[in-house]
C-alpha cells in the first residue's frame, strides 16, 4: 500500500521499539504507545545566512516529543553528504549508540543531501527522559524519492540539546530548520 492509499484510508504508523513491531492502523502516529501528534509549539528557527558546520538547539525541556522541520535543497550544503542529528546534554553530544535502521552508528542520519530532498519532518520522543530516545523521520524529495528513517538511541540519558551537521562540507545560505515542542 502506498502512503497515498494509507492517507485515503486514514491509516497510521505505530512503532514499538521493545518488540520491534511496526504496524499500520487507523488513528494517529504512536511511538511506544505515546502519540507523536498534537499541537506543534515553535521553540526556535534557524536559517543559515553564512556557511556554518552545525546548527544547535539547546535548553530543550518540557516536552515528551519534539519535532524538527528541515527545508532545503542540495544547493544549501556545500558538498553531497548526509544530514546528521546528535543528541546532547550540557554542551556534550553523544557520538555512540545510535541504532539507525538497525545499524549502530555515531549519529542519526536524517537523509542524504545527494537525493535532492526539499523537506524532512522528524519526531523525537523521550529526549528529556533518562531512557532510550526514539525517532522517526520522513524525507520528501523533488525527484519523487522519499525516505523513512527510524532511530533508537540506546543510552538512558536525559538530553537537552539537538545538533544538526552535514557529514561533509557546511550548511550554506538558505538552509532552514525549526524545532517544535509537541503537546497533546
Q: For residue range 150-181, what is the model confidence (pLDDT) as tens digits? A: 889 899 999 999 999 988 888 888 888 999 99
Helix (H, G, I), strand (E, B) or coil at 158: coil
| Most confidently predicted of 10-19, 135-144, 145-154, 155-164 | 155-164
Q: Just give the CATH number of 38-183.
A: 2.60.120
d(CA 117, CA 149): 14
Question: pTM for this structure?
Answer: 0.75
Q: For residue range 106-136, what is the model confidence (pLDDT) as tens digits? A: 988 876 655 555 677 889 999 999 999 998 8
What pLDDT sits at residue 132? 92
Q: Dihedral (C-alpha) 74, 78, 84, 86: value to the nearest 10 degrees? A: -140
What pLDDT sits at residue 22? 46
- Return the bridge partners of 163, or none: 56, 86
Q: Does residue 95 register a pLDDT over 90?
A: yes
d(CA 97, CA 121): 22
Q: For residue range 76-90, what is the model confidence (pLDDT) as tens digits? A: 666 666 788 999 998
Amino acid at each position: 500500500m502506498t502512503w497515498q492509499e494509507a492517507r485515503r484510508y486514514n491509516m497510521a504508523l505505530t512503532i514499538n521499539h521493545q518488540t520491534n513491531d511496526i504496524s499500520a492502523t487507523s488513528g494517529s502516529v504512536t511511538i511506544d504507545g505515546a502519540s507523536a501528534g498534537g499541537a506543534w509549539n515553535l521553540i526556535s528557527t534557524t536559517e543559515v545566512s553564512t556557511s556554518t558546520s552545525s546548527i544547535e538547539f539547546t535548553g530543550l525541556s518540557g516536552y515528551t516529543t519534539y519535532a524538527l522541520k528541515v527545508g532545503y535543497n542540495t544547493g544549501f550544503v556545500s558538498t553531497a553528504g548526509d544530514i546528521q542529528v546528535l543528541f546532547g546534554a550540557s554542551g556534550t553530544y553523544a557520538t555512540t549508540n545510535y541504532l539507525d535502521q538497525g545499524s549502530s552508528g555515531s549519529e542519526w542520519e536524517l537523509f542524504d543531501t545527494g537525493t535532492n530532498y526539499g523537506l524532512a519532518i522528524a519526531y523525537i520522543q523521550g529526549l528529556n527522559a533518562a531512557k532510550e530516545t526514539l525517532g522517526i523521520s520522513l524525507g520528501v524529495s523533488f525527484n519523487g524519492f522519499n525516505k523513512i528513517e527510524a532511530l533508537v538511541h540506546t543510552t538512558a540519558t536525559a538530553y537537552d540539546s539537538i545538533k544538526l551537521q552535514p557529514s561533509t562540507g557546511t550548511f550554506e545560505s538558505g538552509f532552514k530548520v525549526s524545532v517544535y515542542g509537541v503537546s497533546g
